Chain A
Amino acid sequence: METIIKTEDLSIAFGGHWAVSDVSIDIKRNIFTSVIGPNGAGKTTFFNLLSGQLSPTKGRVFYKGEDITKHSVIQRTRNGIGRSFQITNVFPNITVLENVRLAIQSREQVRFDLFRHFKSYRQFEEEAMNLLETVLLAEKAEIPAASLSHGEKRKLEIAMLLALNTEVLLLDEPTAGMSLEEVPAILNVIKNIKEQEDRTVVLIEHKMDMVLDLSDRMMVLFNGELLAEGTPEEIMANETVQAAYIGGDPNDSTTT
């Protein structure tokens, strides 16, 4: 199978602390990979390196065979790496609908049109509304994003990511902070993406049980290092993983 994202000795240090250290991994196209690991393991930092928010101290990132280590966030997004953020990262004082609409506008490359009214691109708004329905946020379309609850903001993040329609979706703890009733619906959205089998999904999750049956592959980060990589079965059977992560606190099912 074809590799879409590859990292080589990917490492980053903050001060003297290696938040991600020597992570080398191959992510295959149209495969669902979960990244698990305890708090502070370096999962989000690893995403920041893939999507370009941070540049590595050492190592390289490849996308479709091309070295993109030096590419900006913008270039990577335009080339097909989209991401959602764990710490909510939306446009607070504009409406929920407009948040999603902006993402669609970017995807459609409507960048410097300054003479037409933005509503003349009606289909953008319709599509944004559909996406909000998908993530169960349609009634909130007209309120400013700042007044959403934490869980709702996570849904908005997902809608914005879906709007970009990128080949690679990096999801950072998409269900964290949602109420328990909402989680299945959102997992369903993610499951649907997976079933279409035309996207590469990398999903960070804190709770291992939640992603076991969703994932094709799993990677375990611990103290910035890649502890193990394999199928869910392999990960479950892996003793190091058991000892370091699952064994550490078997009842740990809190999310941050």
Chain B
Amino acid sequence: MMKRLQTSTWVYLLIAFVLMLLPFVKDDRWFLFLMIQIFVFAIFAMSYDLLLGYTGIVSFGHAMFFGIGAYSVAVTMSRLDSTFSSFLLGVVVAVIISGIVAFLAGVLTLKLKSHYYAMLTLALAGMFLYIAERWRSVTGGNDGFTFRIPELPGVLQDHRNVVIYLFTLLSMVLLFFGMKRLTESPLGRVLVGIRENDQRVESLGFRIMPYKVLISVVSGVIAALAGVLYAVSLRFVNTQVFDIEVTLDALLMTIIGGVGTLVGPILGSAIMNLSHHFLSDLASVHWIFQRWVILFGIIFILVVIFFPNGIVGTIQKKMHERKMKQRVKQVEKQSAKN
């Protein structure tokens, strides 16, 4: 029996399809690159929201997983030959290292008060940044290094950027649906319960530690995959991937788009990347447009004040309220009839 898909799933698939056609209409380098950035950071922000929005865990060091992913694939591919198998090996290395780090961070701190995880991830991210800066023989220090990615067969090689675009898009779509299923699974519902009231979850008979560690690992691994895509799309990596700003980006994207949703971080990523791109062009008009951190600080504050649920959260709430009103009306009509 074919199961009926949710309407929203159709909408998402349709959007994905349109995005898939986009590079055939417009294949400017800068445009493709901008879209790839949006997809990469959407994946990264979604993974962040698994922690923040779905489980209520704050991480200040999420960049660490992004960086682990980026360096794993970059180092592997530059050390070995630039073939698909070394790319795959790089992905495997990224998954293993990020998984282990996330597991350890989770086990060490998630039993404690929530801010310990935030502090430990911050410290670990700092440590990874230090290693990346100092271990010059492998990482090339601050300047980083470029690496080659495998040649594509035939005409594809001429449209390499389109291929990377489609590959990142596909990754985002698959990871989006994967995470959507996760958050809508019975396990995902327990995560939300933990976010809402962890002690009550325990008094219902759930042990919360395994859930927190598990989501820490899932989130870390997905963030690492975003890092992999980031490095591959640039064919370059440097220590910036470990920067605290990368974590802050994820935080901002999630909050602007809508905490506790998956569409929110995607939207947040689009907004941040697009405005970063177009506002930087305005730098010649006024210096403020160059200080984009200031700008986003302001936007951030406005969002928190006026749309505390983020864009998607606010829309969802409005829609829900309308639905409830309709339902109340129906009930009233019913009782009027009787």
A and B held together in a complex: yes
Query: A residues bordering B, Cβ < 8 Å?
Result: 51, 53, 72-74, 77-78, 83, 89-94, 98, 101-103, 105-107, 110-119, 121, 139, 142-143, 160, 164
Residue in B182, B186, B206 whose Cβ sees the most chain A Cβ within 10 Å? B186
| B260 CB to nearest chain A CB (Å) | 8
| CB <8 Å contact, A98 and B205 | no
| CB <8 Å contact, A105 and B202 | no
B108 part of interface (Cβ distance < 8 Å) = no
B185 part of interface (Cβ distance < 8 Å) = yes
Given contacts A91-B197, A113-B185, contact A102 B203 (CB under 8 A): no
Given contacts A94-B196, A115-B185, contact A77 B204 (CB under 8 A): yes
Chain A residues with CB below 8 A from B184, complex form: 117-119
B319 part of interface (Cβ distance < 8 Å) = no
Pick the 10 closest A-B CB pairs, nearest first: A91-B196, A77-B205, A114-B187, A106-B204, A114-B185, A106-B205, A113-B186, A110-B186, A78-B205, A118-B186
11 A–B contacts from the bound complex (CB under 8 Å): A51-B203, A74-B207, A77-B203, A89-B200, A91-B193, A91-B196, A94-B196, A105-B190, A112-B210, A114-B181, A164-B205
A73 partner, pick from B192, B203, B214, beta carbons under 8 A: B203
| CB <8 Å contact, A105 and B197 | no
| CB <8 Å contact, A105 and B186 | yes
Kindly identify, within residues 303 to 338 of chain B, every residue whose CB is under 8 Å from any CB belonging to chain A: 324, 327, 331
**Shortest Cβ distance from B189 into A: residue:** A118
Chain B residues with CB below 8 A from A110, complex form: 186
Question: In the complex, A73 Cα to B203 Cα: how many Å?
Answer: 6
Residue in A89, A114, A164 whose Cβ sees the most chain B Cβ within 10 Å? A114
| CB <8 Å contact, A142 and B324 | yes
* Number of residues from B at the complex interface, CB < 8 A: 27
| CB <8 Å contact, A111 and B187 | yes
Question: In the complex, A78 Cα to B187 Cα: how many Å?
Answer: 18
| CB <8 Å contact, B189 and A92 | no
Further pairs besides A102-B189, A105-B190, A117-B184: 9, Cβ < 8 Å: A74-B207, A89-B200, A102-B190, A102-B193, A111-B187, A111-B190, A118-B184, A118-B188, A121-B186
| A144 CB to nearest chain B CB (Å) | 9
| CB <8 Å contact, B189 and A73 | no
B199 part of interface (Cβ distance < 8 Å) = yes
| A235 CB to nearest chain B CB (Å) | 30
Question: In the complex, A143 Cα to B324 Cα: how many Å?
Answer: 8
Question: In the complex, A86 Cα to B210 Cα: how many Å?
Answer: 29
Kindly identify, within residues 186 to 237 of chain B, every residue whose CB is under 8 Å from any CB belonging to chain A: 186-190, 192-193, 196-197, 199-207, 210, 214
Chain A residues with CB below 8 A from B201, complex form: 102
**Shortest Cβ distance from B185 into A: residue:** A114
| A92 CB to nearest chain B CB (Å) | 6
| CB <8 Å contact, B200 and A90 | yes
Chain A residues with CB below 8 A from B192, complex form: 91, 94
Chain B residues with CB below 8 A from A83, complex form: 203
| A165 CB to nearest chain B CB (Å) | 11
| CB <8 Å contact, A118 and B204 | no
| B248 CB to nearest chain A CB (Å) | 25
| A7 CB to nearest chain B CB (Å) | 19
| B186 CB to nearest chain A CB (Å) | 5
**Shortest Cβ distance from A102 into B: residue:** B193
B204 partner, pick from A92, A102, A113, A143, beta carbons under 8 A: A102
| CB <8 Å contact, B185 and A118 | yes
